[in-house]
Structure 1
Amino acid sequence: MDAANEDERHWHRLQVAGLAAKAYATLFLMITGATPTELDQFSYTDALEVEKSPIKKELSAVKFRAGGKTTLYNIGRDTGLPLLKEYLKLREWILNGATHEGLFFTMPATSERISTNPEFSYLKTTEMMAGFFRSISGTFLDPTVRILSARKMRKHKSLGMHTAGVSPSTVAANLNHSEAVNLSTYSEATPEQQAAEFGLFWRAMHHAAYVVRERSQRPAKGEVATATGHCDEFSQPIPVRDFGAVAIEPNCRSQSGCLYCEHYICHSDEEDLHKIVSLQYVINSVRKAAPDAAHAEALYKELSIRIEFILEALGERSDAVKQLVEAIKVKVFEYGELTPFWEKRLSRYEKMGVVF
């Protein structure tokens, strides 16, 4: 034991260092969202530039499945850069004066019979990951923890960015594929996330039904007319309870936010119906004309569904109200007759260059 401890480059130390190097490679696979083929191409020269430059923060690789396109992968200066600096120190100690072009590499087998001039070969990430997870399962990780493939890591990165509200175009660019590929393959939510979203959706729908069914009457004393209906406590916005985070926070200066406020009231008369259908028309116009269609869809889809549910709930009150709802929809969507407020808002968008 004493003899081993006195040897700074004992084979067991090299073995543990090799395990640590694989852990760093796995971390960078998670951070960058690169494919194994691309991670294998990350160069030591690129890494040195990232470490020393105050601006550069990407590692590059050639994506063969994209016709030889050069791709860049951001490691992040807050989390990835400190990890890179740690790894470069470990890398220098492992090489011990030897050189290697790749940022990551495969170490020779470490044992008591290790040669004095070991050879370091290029990393094969797929093989490395399988062996790495086998070696840490049951020792550093609970054996019940499932092994993540590189594809699942990319998917988790994509879902994390979508959950954080990053636009689909940015997420796709970060993972170096098209928006179509990202939305079709890397955007499927987990069962737990789907359950939470559906729960939030139905709570919102039940509250909307309560608002229009219990309060659908002529404006009472103290109610203030708004661009989307009426309000019984103007300038005191309160988010609807039990909704959690919503896409649009209640704000008396933001008319669309009224639909997520405890004080919002929609009456089953021509005045309020014309207001809310006009809002629906503007929302749908913006969704269709936005340059980042996917991002606009994600932002306004819930609001559009909420408006439609309120209209359906109002229509269920009586045949007369249902006929009035249909008549207002024809008036707005076929003839383009909006309320003065929403007509001015739409004109303002057109002056800004938004083409409908």
Structure 2
Amino acid sequence: MFEERNIEFVHIENFYKFSENGYDVEKLVLITKQGNTDSYVDIGSLCYAKRSKSCKTKHYAKVVKSTFNEKIASAIKEFLDYKCTKLTVGSARVILGRLKVTLDELYSIGSEQNIEISFDDINQCHIIYEFYTKFLIAKIKNEFKNPNFKSTKNIAAKQKICAELISSTCNVDLEDFIGKYIDIKGYDSPNKDKEVSETEDYRVYINNCQKIYKIFSQFSLNNSNFPINFNINDDISEVPSFLYITSASALVKKYFYNKEGRFLTRIEAVKNVKKIDDVDELKIRYKDKNDELPFEIKKSYNKHLKMLLNANRHNSRERLKVINIAMSSMALWIITDSGCNLSVIYGLQTQDLKNLNPDVPNQKIFYVKERSGGRTIPVGLTNKIVQPLKDFLAFREYVLNLVDEKERKKIGNYVFFTFKLNANKNIKDLIGLYSAKDLILYKNWYNSIFGKGSYISPRVGRGSYANIYKNLEGVKNHNQAIDISAEILGHTSTVDFKYYTDATKEQVRSQFTEFFDNVYDQMIFKNRTTRKAIPVITDIESSPTIAGHCNHTSPIRADGFNENIEQPNCSNPSTCLFCENYVLHTDEIDLRKLLSLRKITEMHSDLNEEMLIVKFRIDEILKQIVNKYDHVKSLIHTIKDEVDDGYFDENWQNILELLIDLGVQFYVED
């Protein structure tokens, strides 16, 4: 069913010039970058409603040619022309990836709703955009049910891409078009745990990276033989652990290696087997003589010996794998030592390291950060890594001497590269710049040695590094600590606060307590004439309201609040809490109303001053009634758990859904 089509490969940095001469968009495959490796985006296949997955080796998809949509092809072309100035190497993969997902969803909506997906008629575009916005809002509502919900940014970005397809094709003002509809806001869930490691785990990981690099690089430089031996733990009295680069089953390890990790000679293996098992009881086909291994064990010994001899050959696959591991461990050592970004590893040049001096404190390397508009970012290094980095240049030179001059030119002055061992090619064809795939291979290997989940990704490591500095002893001011870690990591304090700080749950709780202690005097009590709890009327006959009950129709501020608090207004149910006539019935109905309102303030992504004041007032009321009525405490806990699970008061549930439809930002708490 799927057919081949003609393809034109174009590097993203050449797209502007390429497009000037006109082109058939259905043939286009754009080449971007992922780290130092090429990443292919088959744009042309999006012109077809039915297509296969992209082939990993050919980098494009086959299509059903009868499903070609000329109008979508034209819209894609207009969109690319509109976006060409933003299609940089750094941003293209994200933009084009979202374009693909958006068009896939539009194809699906068109099929389900019997709507023609055409961007050349503005009236039809309004229909498309309205249906797509409803589809995305429904998706957000569904996301809120997931306790692991993190962000609506991708959903908001897809809505904008749909609008850009329309505005670029129909030549209408983008902002004017968007303004006619609900604008989905992109935001992150503030309540999600920041991904960081505990300090001790992070220390162990750094130590392992150092150890692996030193041992594996020396193994290569000395042309040592397998297996590789080293202590995984710091305890020098422990028997050394040894790593099998060649595969070794539990039986092989048991019979053919001693405790120090040395492969036994054939005679030693016979003695070792006899110590471990009663040879006469072993399941065997025959024995030649008493001094020989049983047949099955001898067969296994011979096979493993052959593998070991092959691994110890010059430039064997296993030796090249050791070099790759040494490269990755040094790259991760730099990241864990400095808190730098992966882009530093991808772009680091040999001249950046040559002037490092281990005798000078506070050494720095510098790199240009494309995402920051070409800004030069300093990367601070500890003295502990400076000399190993200089030694690493010698190791790098040793490795490059394994290949010919043509292959050396492929690497140029880049510090990091690896051997690509996923294909059976000559060594000359296997060398390439360091990439994200190399990092994944190292992660898999590391977890296989130290246990699943022990690997710390560069992002988590970066956050852990920032968190350690943020909690430095002697830095008392929270904002000052954020600025320090931001400077170290090479980004703004806004980014630092959003992605890298407030790391562990215990620290979050501590910091929030400190935050409320510091700001309540300025925020909460500036609206009051007293520091004492302002009483609330309970359990008298009154009229029901959204917030509880009311015993009078004329709202007035309760005694204890000053003019800084909003004048109570019956059209704004949250102001009832500050009214002299507010009444709370200590039953399930009113408590669910109160706790539903509290949950909504908690869920709002922008917990502003007004919401904190409402939340404080609710907590104050709840505390009063718990102290007054013993039976209410357990009822409050039960209702709170139900509200946390989504069982809101009906009126507040309707208000929440309306606010979401209007684009107000909420998140779901873990």
**TM-score, structure 2 as length reference:** 0.27
Q: Which has the larger radius of gyration?
A: 2
**TM-score, structure 1 as length reference:** 0.47
Which is bigger in relative contact order (C-alpha 8 A, separation at least 6)? 1
